[in-house]
Amino acid sequence: MIFKCTNCGGNAVYSPDKKMMVCPYCGGEDTYKRKDNENSSYGLSVCPECGGTIPVEEFDSAMHCPYCDNSVIFNERISNEYHPKFIIPFELSKDKTKDLIRDKFKKLTFAPSDFLSEVRLDSMKGVYVPFWFYDYKTNAVFEGEGTKVRHWTSGNYRYTETSYYHVVRDMNIPFEKLPADASIKMPDQVMDLMEPYDYSKLSEFMPEYLSGFNAERYNMPAEDIESRARSKMEDDAKAILRSSISGYSSLVTNSQSVRVLDRKTAYGLMPVWNYVYQYKGQDYPFYVNGETGKIIGTAPLSKGKVWGYTATLFVLLEIIAASINGILGLM
């Protein structure tokens, strides 16, 4: 499907700034209609607008036609079992994201000259990344032995009193929407660092949100990646148990368990801006949380600038130090 402007026939896209469908050609707001005549299959799709062949990959659910640049959404990859329960629409437009990247890296002296150039940053793409969300009702129990130590001095002796306690904590901890990305393309570690998303912006899924962006359906079922969410949940539950115990000089764990009483999963899409900077044959990917603006990625360093700037500073400081030293010697 594509969304067409009812005023001019252009491709209407979702505007993060205006929070509505906008036609970038005539400026029409919420003036659109859906056009469904796609014919897509694995690896191949025909653009409903120009009839061009779109090189669709296995998990793509929305992308731009390489010929007419219309934003095409593939129905069968957002329907039935692939219908997302919710979505966080892009809050940050491309221009705002560019500003965020410039702000973050403008002080990076040794980055290559064109690292923050308009042309390079313009290649940034907005992607809806598929996530599985896990709800767990858990029961976490800690049982161990804690000590409290007291010191005092009397006469010529220093006394140490150690008191031993049996420590028990039994808590019900409900975890809600623990995320794990369901995209092979997106590195797990990076997607984990993109967290947290602000769930107050969660919306019911509508295909309009995908117009103007790329998107994927989930690449694997919830069970395949649950170990990531479960491990996160268990670590958090143990940390909560520990944080409820205080006042002891030492604590020995006798037993600790986290039991899942109930579990639910849900599928949703999260917004990510992806900027890939290529430098000397190597890719430097940057990921920006399309809702909160959190940036993950490291810029390449230009060896020429590292040496040039450092040497300049050294030479200038050396001139200053040697001159001052010479002046002191003459005084």
Partner 1 sequence: MELENGYNHKVEERKRYFKSFGFWMVAAAICLIIFLVMKIAHKEEVVVKPERNNTVAPAQRVYDFADKLTDSEEEALEKLIAEQEDLCQCDLVLVIINKEMGVSDTEWTRNMVNYADDFYDQNAFGYDQPHGDGALLLDNWYHAGEADSQAGTWLSTSGKLEYNIGESEENRVWDALDSGFDISAKEAYARAIKKVAYYGIEEEGSGVSSLPWVVVLAIPAIIAGIYCAVNMKQAPGKDTTNSMTYVAGNQPQMNNQADQFLRKNTTKVKIETSSGSRSGGGGSYGHHTSSGGFSHGGGGHRR
Report 158-177 residues binding partner 1 (CB under 8 A): 158-177
Q: What order do you get walking across the sheet with 44-46 strand by strand?
A: 39-41, 44-46, 53-54
- Return the DSSP state at 109: T
Q: List binders of partner 1 among 283-302 (CB under 8 A).
A: 294-299, 301
234 forms part of the interface with partner 1 (CB under 8 A): no
255 forms part of the interface with partner 1 (CB under 8 A): no
What three-state secondary structure class fits 232? Answer: helix
188 forms part of the interface with partner 1 (CB under 8 A): no
79 forms part of the interface with partner 1 (CB under 8 A): no
- The least CB distance from residue 243 to partner 1, in Å, is 7
Residue type, 106: K
Long-range Cβ contacts of 278-286 (<8 Å, 24+ apart):
279/112, 279/115, 285/190, 286/101
- The least CB distance from residue 227 to partner 1, in Å, is 16
Q: Which uninterrupted H or E stretch holds 173? A: strand 157-181
- The least CB distance from residue 267 to partner 1, in Å, is 17
Buried b / exposed e over 264-285, threshold 16 CB at 10 Å, is ebebbbbbbbbbebeeeeeebe
- The least CB distance from residue 88 to partner 1, in Å, is 15
CA 143 to chain centre: 36
Q: List binders of partner 1 among 96-125 (CB under 8 A).
A: 108-110, 113-114, 117-119
- The least CB distance from residue 131 to partner 1, in Å, is 13
- From the list 28-36, 79-87, 213-221, 322-330, the region that binds partner 1 by CB under 8 A is 322-330
205 forms part of the interface with partner 1 (CB under 8 A): no
Residue 150, exposed/middle/buried by CB under 10 A (0-12, 13-18, 19+)?
exposed
Q: Which of 178, 215, 225, 269 binds partner 1 (CB under 8 A)?
A: 178
The answer to whether the beta carbons of residues 268 and 133 sit under 8 Å apart is yes
User: Nearer Cβ to partner 1, position 82 or 248?
Assistant: 248
